[in-house]
Amino acid sequence: MDGRGAPRWGVRLPDVDPHRDIETVRRFGGRLLIPGDGEWPISLEDLGEEAPFCLWVRGPLQLDTTAGLSVAIVGARAATAYGERIAANLGAGCADRGITVVSGAAFGIDGAAHRGALSSGGTTVAVLACGVDRFYPLGHERLLDRIAGEGLVVSEVPPGSSPTRWRFVERNRIIAALTRVVVVVEAAVRSGALGTAARAERISRPLAAVPGPVTSPSSYGTHQLIRDGAVLVTGPEDVAELVGRMGEFLPEPMEVPRTELDDLEPRDRRVAEALPVRTAAELDGISRAAGLEAAAVAAALGRLELRGLAVREGTGWRRTPRAQPRGSP
């Protein structure tokens, strides 16, 4: 021990029994990690003097390699259906790309992110504010049992420790330090997820946030993060691009639906968009609507007719239904 927190640890020494704690965690198939162990994640060194003295771990995977390519997905406990859907989608999409999802196993966004990763057969890590021998919250016992069996459950406090407010606050720094990027899905103005975001910024972790409805109090915090410089993300492809090395997870180009008007010359498109759909218009009316001379409009109408985009009716012209541009009535 280097003297950090010596007074507060000193009063607890009479109750400390390391051998008992190690035996307890072993009964649950777990282990104790300390700095210098091969499984110790070097990313925790970014915490400096706030780095944990040790980590208690349950699960079949290696923590250092599991956290090597990872993202923290965090957010409000009192999440909306929108937020939980987005968190699950992000978790599943990241897992599909081989990215580990790290969160705090709380109700709401955390649980949805863990479940999303598991649903895709991916890897997820739960960082607890209590001992790894007692799953909290109680409503997530089955979820945490599955994470312990397929992924990893991690805590810096020994077995038997109860969750407390300050332990929730402190575990947020571990979530941030274990990962390459922190994504906040939903957060009210006062939210623990914003604490994780603050910890991420202090150790220079990229920070991202998901926008929500402007009327939703659950998104006030994420909108503030975006205003302050967080990267706006809307899907797993955005998150993967931030997590991976340059060029590792390039998003697919967005496909924009095209219409036959997209291939027209600017003047012909202008005339086509000036044509009515239901009732034919005279040449002079089309000329005024397009802002072009009548001769230029007449030439354009001829070309549009050859392409099947305009039809003559008596002395007037109208657009064919298949030639309607995007956004037209």
Domain range for 15: 6-243
CATH code for the domain in which residue 145 is found:
3.40.50.450
Residue 20 is predicted with a pLDDT of: 80
Instruction: Identify whether residues 287 and 229 lie together within a single domain.
Output: no
pTM (predicted TM-score): 0.79
| pLDDT tens for each residue of 117-137 | 999 999 999 999 999 998 999
Q: Quick check: is 329 in a domain?
A: no
Q: Give CA–CA dist 224/218, Å, rounded.
A: 11
Q: Quick check: is 328 in a domain?
A: no
Instruction: Identify whether residues 116 and 166 lie together within a single domain.
Output: yes
Instruction: Identify whether residues 218 and 284 lie together within a single domain.
Output: no
CATH code for the domain in which residue 267 is found:
1.10.10.10
Cβ atoms within 10 Å of 322's Cβ, excluding its own = 9
Q: Quick check: is 255 in a domain?
A: no
Instruction: Identify whether residues 23 and 167 lie together within a single domain.
Output: yes
| pLDDT tens for each residue of 177-235 | 999 999 999 999 888 899 999 999 999 999 999 999 999 999 999 999 999 999 999 99
Q: Quick check: is 152 in a domain?
A: yes
State the pLDDT confidence band at 303, using cuts at 50, 70 and 90: very high
Instruction: Identify whether residues 175 and 214 lie together within a single domain.
Output: yes
Instruction: Identify whether residues 41 and 155 lie together within a single domain.
Output: yes
Q: Quick check: is 88 in a domain?
A: yes
